[in-house]
Chain A
Amino acid sequence: MRGQTTHPDTDVLAEFDAGLATGRRGARIAAHLAECDRCRALRDELAGISALFAAVPAQAMPDRVAQRLDSALAAEVARRNDSKRARGDSPRHRGPAGRPARNRGWRLVSLRVLAPAAAVVLAVAGYGLSQLPHGSGNLASPSSGMAGAAKPANAPALAPRSGAAARAAPERMGPDSFPFLTSHTNFLPGTLKQQVEAALRVAESAGATQNAPTAVITCVRNVAGSGTPLMVESARYQDQAATIIVMRTSKGEVALVAGAGCSASHGKPLATTTVP
Chain B
Amino acid sequence: MRDAVEQWPSDAELLRRHVAGDDQAFGELFGRHRDRLWAVALRTICDPEEAADALQDAMVSAFRRAADFRGESAVTTWLHRIVVNAALDRLRRRAARPALSAGDEPAFEALAGSAGDPAHTTDIRLDVDAALRVLPPPQRAALVVVDMLGFSVAEAAVILDISPGTVKSRCARARARLLPHVSHLRGNRSASESVSPAQGGDT
Chain A contacts to B: CB under 8 angstroms: 9-11, 13-15, 17-20, 41-42, 44-46, 48-50, 52-66, 68-70, 72-73, 76-77, 80-81, 84, 93-97, 101, 107-118, 140, 142-148, 150-152, 155-159, 200-201, 204, 226, 230, 248-253
| B contacts, CB < 8 Å to A | 1-3, 5-11, 17, 20-36, 38-39, 42, 48, 52, 55-56, 59-60, 63-64, 74-77, 111-114, 116-117, 121-122, 124-125, 128, 143, 146-152, 155, 165, 168-169, 171-173, 175-176, 178-179, 182-183, 185-186, 189-192, 203
Q: How far is the CA of A57 from the CA of B121 in the complex (A)?
A: 7
Contact: A230 with B148, CB < 8 Å? no
29 contacting pairs across A/B (C-beta < 8 A): A11-B172, A18-B168, A48-B189, A49-B147, A49-B182, A52-B186, A56-B121, A57-B117, A57-B125, A58-B35, A59-B38, A60-B35, A68-B52, A69-B56, A73-B26, A73-B30, A73-B63, A93-B22, A97-B3, A109-B23, A116-B33, A142-B8, A145-B74, A146-B151, A147-B151, A147-B152, A226-B31, A251-B7, A253-B7
Q: Which of A20, A44, A62, A96 contacts B17 (CB 8 A)?
A: A96
Q: Which residue of B is nearest A40, CB measured?
A: B203
Q: Which of A62, A112, A158, A251 contacts B27 (CB 8 A)?
A: A112
**Contact across chains for B27 and A58 when beta carbons are under 8 A apart:** no
CB–CB A110/B22 < 8 A: no
**A94's contact among B21, B152, B172, B183, by CB below 8 Å, is which?**
B21
Contact across chains for B113 and A60 when beta carbons are under 8 A apart: yes
Whole-angstrom distance from the CB of B113 to the nearest CB of chain A? 4
Select A144's contact among B2, B33, B185, beta carbons within 8 Å.
B33
Do residues A58 and B36 form an inter-chain contact, with CB atoms below 8 A? yes
Cα distance, A95 to B165, chains bound together (Å):
44
Instruction: Find chain B residues with CB under 8 A from A46 CB.
Output: 175-176, 179
List B contacts of A156 (CB < 8 A). Answer: 114, 116-117, 121
Whether A152 lies near B55 (C-beta < 8 A) is no
Q: Are B152 and A54 in contact (CB under 8 A)?
A: no
Which one of B42, B76, B117, B203 lies within 8 Å of A147 (CB-CB)? B76
Partner of B36, one of A112, A114, A148: A148
Closest chain B residue to A48, Cβ basis: B186
- Write out the residue numbers on chain A whose beta carbons fall within 8 Å of the beta carbon of B147: 49-50, 53-54
Given the complex, which residues of B lie within 8 Å of A159, measured CB to CB?
Answer: 116
* Cβ-defined contact, B75 with A145, below 8 A: yes
CA distance A65 to B143 in the complex (A): 24
Interface pair B169/A76, CB less than 8 Å apart: no
Give Cα distance in the complex from A158 to B114, angstroms. 9
Q: Which residues of A contact B64 (CB under 8 A)?
A: 76
Contact among A115, A155, A158, A230 with B2 in the assembled complex (CB-CB below 8 Å): A230
Question: Roughly how many angstroms separate A46 CA and B192 CA in the complex, as a whole number?
Answer: 10
Say yes or no: B34 contacts A61, CB within 8 Å: yes
Given contacts A52-B182, A57-B124, A59-B38, contact A18 B190 (CB under 8 A): no
**Distance in Å: Cβ of B178 to nearest Cβ of chain A:** 6
| From B9, B39, B48, B60, contact of A96 by CB (8 A) | B9
Task: Find out whether the CB atom of A66 lies under 8 angstroms from the CB atom of B34.
Answer: yes
Which of B21, B31, B113 is A116 in contact with, Cβ under 8 Å? B31
Least CB separation from B22: chain A residue: A96
* Alpha-carbon distance A72/B57, docked complex (angstroms): 9
